[in-house]
Amino acid sequence: MANKQQVVASVLAVALLLAAVPTVVHSIGVCYGVIGNNLPSASDVVQLYQSNGIDSMHIYFADTNALQALSGSNIGLIMDIGNDNLAAFASDPGAAAAWVQNNVKAFPGVNFRYIAVGNEVAGGDTQNILPAMRNIDSALSAAGLGNIKASTAVQSGVTGGFPPSQGTFSSDASSYMTPIAQYLASTGAPLLANVYPYFSYMGNQAQIDINYALFTSSGTVVQDGGNAYQNLFDALVDTFYSALEKAGAGNVKIVVSESGWPSAGGDAATADNARTYNQNLINHVGQGTPKRPGGMEAYIFAMFNENQKGGAETERHFGLFNPDKSPAYQMNF
């Protein structure tokens, strides 16, 4: 009996110890773009997310069809306001409030996580990001939706510096990024970062090995003080963290709002590379980065190959699925 009691006590002690360890949240989502003329209905898309165990989605405007289909699904959502709304929302709190009422409050069954106030904004419009974020946050609070945070999505080009510990906001971005970072620190919202090792590799193939970009390096590639980098994704994310620290916003977390690899249309754009990158990203998100170990939230770009996207041919080949809902290549979520 004593032995049995000791075993029970030991099991209980271990259970209490495990309960005291904070659970690290990690999540893998997929971006749902709709720049195509042959895509499935929004309700079919939501079913495809659910049948594949994809728990989060990123959409690029207030898509009523998607919002209706998402209602009751519990799929976590990042929703962009659309860059064309930035100037109006920056100058007119009423316009921001009406948008929140019509597109957020009107869909109580949707699990909104973040509102992206601008996505890779460039030029003079960058000065509208922060005032628009303030007005969206105020509108969310006034609507009783203060748990939904406003942020903005930026690309790696707003940072510079190597190795990752030397990361800063670049000279042409710091004037707007530093106040944005400090504002996010005050609200508890994350910074949304679009992180693409593919484009970094394409821009510097002479110095970046493709295995470093694909998560397939056999060992450390970059040693940065006490931090060892075996993949480019971690290095890019930690460059953002260093930039946030130098801006006085070291408590702001990064949510990777886009990342992916094209399966056709250009150099190194093959189905095998796309599968390798995206599967390794899925497997990696639970680990975090050397600067921020633990789980992280990331969104793969994108759900479908979108045949009407402009730009380089690769832009039309980032999809995990074909428009007929068949996999572009096999993945395990």
Helix (H) or strand (E) holding 111: strand 111-119
- pLDDT digit string (tens) for 124-163? 999 999 999 999 999 999 999 999 999 999 999 999 999 9
**What does R_g of the chain's alpha carbons equal in angstroms?**
21
Choosing from 120, 245, 297, 306, the catalytic residue is 120
Amino acid at 218: S
Which of 75, 69, 33 lies closest to 52, judged by CA?
A: 75
pLDDT in tens, the chain (333 residues): 433 334 333 333 333 333 333 334 578 999 999 999 999 999 999 999 999 999 999 999 999 999 999 999 999 999 999 999 999 999 999 999 999 999 999 999 999 999 999 999 999 999 999 999 999 999 999 999 999 999 999 999 999 999 999 999 999 999 999 999 999 999 999 999 999 999 999 999 999 999 999 999 999 999 999 999 999 999 999 999 999 999 999 999 999 999 999 999 999 999 999 999 999 999 999 999 999 999 999 999 999 999 999 999 999 999 999 999 999 999 988
CA 271 to chain centre: 22
Q: First vs last Cα of the chain: how many Å apart?
A: 46
- 120 as an active site residue: the answer is yes
Active site residue: 258, 306, 313, 315, which one? 258
Instruction: Let me know if 313 is a catalytic residue.
Output: no
